[in-house]
């Protein structure tokens, strides 16, 4: 999914989101949580909490169920096989 900021809005696949925002990451929950919080983005989020009172929470779940995709079209990225030109 394409995620981007457009002014005060957050767009996912060119559709605006309405707060509150939920981000779901699939993987080793504790590891993902720790690595995010220690990253530049996690530190920035922490600064927003401290300076502007933005509320956030992170939870690691053992079992997550996702809705089925609305489309049967599967899109994947592939590395380019073209050689760069100098």
Is a pLDDT exceeding 80 seen at residue 20? yes
How far is CA 17 from each of CA 43, 44, 49, 74, rounded to the nearest angstrom? 23, 21, 20, 23
- In the block, which residue shows the tokens 């590891």? 31
1's CB contacts (< 8 A; 6+ apart) are 12, 13
Task: State the DSSP code for 8.
Answer: T
Output the pLDDT for position 38. Answer: 95
Query: pLDDT digits over 23-73, tens only?
Result: 888 888 889 999 999 999 999 999 999 999 988 888 888 888 878 877 777
In angstroms, the CA 53 to CA 74 distance is 39
């Amino acid at each position: 999914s394409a995620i981007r900021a457009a002014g005060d809005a957050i767009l996912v696949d060119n559709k605006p989101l309405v707060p509150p925002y939920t981000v779901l990451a699939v993987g080793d929950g504790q590891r993902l949580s720790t690595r995010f919080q220690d990253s530049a983005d996690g530190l920035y989020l922490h600064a927003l909490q401290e300076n502007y009172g933005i509320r956030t929470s992170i939870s690691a779940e053992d079992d997550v169920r996702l809705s089925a995709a609305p489309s049967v079209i599967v899109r994947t990225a592939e590395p380019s096989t073209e050689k760069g030109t100098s």
